[in-house]
A and B are shown apart, each in its own frame.
Chain A
């Protein structure tokens, strides 16, 4: 079992939909959780980060961490075609990052 599991998708939604992206993990030492967005043929860029359990909101994006279930989520409200990208979760135990495989999101107009 890989340390971080993420459904590769693709996930196709219409514009305006609420999107839920998820990752599960097995390493209980992970304390810091990040979401990166990667557009086609570009490098990943940091979208959000959270520490330990709880929610964090930034505009249309909400990151949620449930350490008891070893489960993290990224919610995108009012999704836009410009949100079409691959979303990678990443985790750290104060050392190097471990990435999920990424979920491809397609938002159609």
Chain B
């Protein structure tokens, strides 16, 4: 199993450009999450999904959109990138039934720089 994979690993954008980050998991997990990690801020939840076709807002959703059309994929979109969105983005997945321990499995991250 590849676990949780993220594409791309690195990206540099100009202000105003758009892009989509792809998260894929091959563990048949029900829940999926997008976080951003900034120095001094820790991990903050952007959006999450509790199943195929569902999405919900997290702590810092503004400027991002998500879609979960297939159970194994969770896409994070930036419609008009801003320098404040420069960060490392992590995707995580969680199997049904591990709650309440919330055993989340993280991907390797995407380093995004917005100039």
- Is there an interface contact between B101 and A44, defined as CB atoms closer than 8 Å? no
Residues of B within 8 A of A101 (CB): 40-42
Residues of A within 8 A of B74 (CB): none
Total chain A interface residues with beta-carbon distance under 8 A: 23
Q: Does A42 contact B (CB under 8 A)?
A: yes
Q: Which residues from 57 to 100 on chain A have a C-beta closer than 8 Å to any C-beta of chain B?
A: 88, 90, 92, 94, 96-97, 99-100
| CB of B100 closer than 8 Å to a CB of A | yes
Decide if A92 touches B100 in the complex (CB within 8 Å). Answer: yes
The CA-CA distance from A51 to B100 in the complex, in Å, is: 9
Decide if A102 touches B42 in the complex (CB within 8 Å): yes
Set of chain A residues within 8 Å of B106, measured between Cβ atoms: 43-45
**Residue among B43, B100, B102, B107 making CB contact with A88, cutoff 8 Å:** B43
Contact B102 A32 (CB under 8 A): yes
Would B103 and A49 count as touching, CB distance under 8 A?
yes
Report the separation of the CA atoms of residues A90 and B104 in the bound assembly, to the nearest whole angstrom.
11
Query: Chain B residues near A90 (CB, 8 Å)?
Result: 102
Residues of A within 8 A of B (CB): 6, 8, 31-32, 34, 41-46, 49, 51, 88, 90, 92, 94, 96-97, 99-102
Question: A-contacting residues of B (Cβ < 8 Å)?
Answer: 4, 33, 40-45, 48, 58, 90, 92, 99-109
